[in-house]
Structure formats: C-alpha cells, structure tokens
Amino acid sequence: MKSVNAKQVKAFGTEAATAPLNQLNIQRRVPTPHDVEIEILYCGVCHSDLHTARNEWHGTIYPCVPGHEIVGRIVNVGDHVKNFKVGDLAGVGCMVDSCRDCDYCKEGLEQYCEVGNTGTYNSPDKYLGLQTYGGYSESIVVDESFVLRIPGNLDLAATAPLLCAGITTYSPLKHWNVGPGQRVGVVGIGGLGHMAVKLAKAMGAEVIVFTTSPSKVEDAKRLGADDVVLSKDNDQMQRYAGRLHFVLDAVSAQHDINAYLNL
C-alpha cells in the first residue's frame, strides 16, 4: 500500500445488501503527482450498480459507493499531470487503475491486466488500503491515464451514460468496422440498444431494430432506426433473412438467439 494523505468527502452508498442508500463520509486521497481531482457533476445509474449494492453478484465490499458513469470538472491536478488543467471537463468510466507493466497494459488493454485492473468502485485501493468508491459522491481522485476529456458542447447529464452503456455498444461496432454500406441489426431497444442505434447510425450504417414491443416502434424510429421489426412476427423476421452484415444483441434478459442467427 502506498502512503498518501486523505480527506473526507460526502457520498451516497450502502453498508449492507439489504440497507438503502444513505449519505456516508468516505476517504479520498489527496492528489499524487499524476492524479486529477474531479468535482462530480453527474453520475449515471447503471444496473450493475444495483447488482453490486445488493450483493447479487457476491463479493461486494461494504460500505459500497457505486457509480462508474462519471462526468465532472477538474478542481486540482498533481504536479506531473500533462493532459489536463483545472477547469477542464472530464469523465471516468469503470476502471481507475491497472498494473501498467504487463503485456496487456502495454498494449492499451488494461481491462485484461494480468495483475487485475482496479474498478472505479468495490476494488482494493492500493493508496488508502480500503476499497475504491464510485461516483455517487462529491468528488473523485484518479490517475490522469484513466481520465477522459469531455467536450464542452455536450449535454453533461446525457454524456455520463456514455462512460458505460455508450462504450459497451461502441466497442463492438468500432472493432468490427461498422460503417457506410452496411446493414446493422440491433436487438432490443433499452438502455444499451438505444445507444447502439444512435452510434451505428452516426457511423453511417443502415440500422434495423428488432424488438418484441410494439410500443417501442416509434421510439426506435425517432432515435434513427431505418426500419423496426417485431421479432415475434415470423413474416417480418423473414424480410431480413441473410441480409444483415452485423447484429448487436442488447437484450439482458434470457432469450432465444436462434431466430437472429440467419439474419
């Protein structure tokens, strides 16, 4: 454990799986040379926050302060920080550290860190010897390597979910080079699916949404879908048999994927 100074900040968290979120006092380290301190302006609520707070995935360390869709303003920087200054808008996602030395980290794949990446919350805190605390708090201190610059022309409240739901859908679209001339299917139009529609459309693809909910047809079109298919209707599904270049399944509930394999 590294020895650093700390200060107390206010947060919302829970002290047990069955306890509600309450105001807590937590410790944040004083910025070290490569750290930035961010005043948190907005933090999205991801369903994984609820799973962790309720210990539904087991292994939750209490007290637990969730939140990994963080947007705020930098209020302090360490002496060696190069890429940020006080007053900059910044974002923090689901990771705040890694070993930096293994082959994965050197390739920019810190999520696969051989030692283990440090989650924004509920991970061992090598500085203070406790656990990391997330974005349901006044401020957070993070090494600048794990901080993203946020453009000032964005709606900050709408930007926060991009740090989780956004990157979750952007990553596969980017990895498989989705773009103009391709027809992309998006299965589900919830928290992830609506992001996928907007991102795939922005990349220049034709976007077809598949949903079981007739009530979501107009919403999907409003978000940019070129067509919407009710997936329980076999005739509608057959219209796109063998016609899609890429399918992104954004449904979290258990469901049968066989119907989408011939698209």
Closest CA to 155 of 252, 16, 47, 42: 42
| 101 DSSP assignment | -
* Per-residue model confidence as pLDDT tens digits over 183-216: 999 999 999 999 999 999 999 999 999 999 999 9
Mean pLDDT across the chain, nearest whole number? 96
pLDDT above 70 covers a percentage of the chain that reads 99
Sign of the C-alpha dihedral, residues 62, 24, 99, 117? positive
φ/ψ (deg, to 5) at 215: -70, -15
Q: What are the Cα distances from residue 91, in Å, to 87, 114, 188?
A: 13, 25, 27
At 4, the pLDDT band (50, 70, 90 cuts) reads: confident
CA proximity to 201, closest of 232, 171, 170: 170
> Rounded to whole angstroms, how far apart are CA atoms 8 and 27?
5
**Domains along the chain with CATH numbers:** 6-159 (3.90.180.10), 165-260 (3.40.50.720)
Task: Locate 189 and state its tokens.
Answer: 């139009």
* pLDDT score of 1 more than 80: no
Residue 123: what pLDDT?
97
Q: What is the mean pLDDT of residues 137-162?
A: 97
Region 70-80: mean pLDDT is 98
**pLDDT tens, position by position, 102-146:** 999 999 999 999 999 999 999 999 999 999 999 999 999 999 999
| Interior/surface letters 182-210, b for 16+ CB within 10 angstroms, e for the rest | bbbbbbbbbbbbbbbbbbbbebebbbbbb
171, pLDDT greater than 70? yes
Q: Is 13 exposed, middle or buried (0-12, 13-18, 19+ CB in 10 A)?
A: buried
> Average of pLDDT values for 41-45?
98
